[in-house]
Amino acid sequence: MIPVFKLLESKADQSILSITPNHMVIEALELMAEKNIGAVLVMDGPKLVGIFSERDYARKGIIQGRKAKSTPVTEVMSSNLITITPQMGIRECMNLMTTKRVRHLPVMDGDQVVGLLSIGDLVNAIIVEQRTHIKFLEQYISGT
């Protein structure tokens, strides 16, 4: 089982992208489009206060008639966050995502944000883990 900290180390882009609660939704959407990501952390200084995702914008923004240029992120972000630690395993994280119906998990080391994992990150890691296991079993069976 791969721990979260190993997965974070292997990610090509390890930067933590964030916006402040006072940013307008349009600014968050522009950042997400520029970086080709589906969510961004909402930070008040060093403190994690929420996460803003495409799903938040669709459900709490567009459907409710809010305008992206005049709506602060705090009005549409998710603030009841489910976080994980660097020591957790990726399968445990996948289980959390499935049961809690979330697609992004902030990684916290104490009070400090150390990363953000998406469901895509976890799926890719599980695929790599399974390929490695299959290769090992094939070699074991063939005796090579």
List all residues 6 or more positions away from 8 whose beta carbon is below 8 Å from its beta carbon: 14, 86, 107, 114, 115, 117
Give residue-wise pLDDT tens across range 14-69.
Answer: 788 999 999 999 999 999 999 999 999 999 999 999 999 999 999 998 888 889 99
What CATH code is carried by the domain that includes residue 46? 3.10.580.10
* C-alpha closest to that of 78 among 116, 121, 109, 124: 116
How far is it, in rounded angstroms, from Cα 54 to Cα 86?
25
Range of the domain at 37: 4-142
Count of the separate structural domains present in the chain: 1
pTM: 0.86
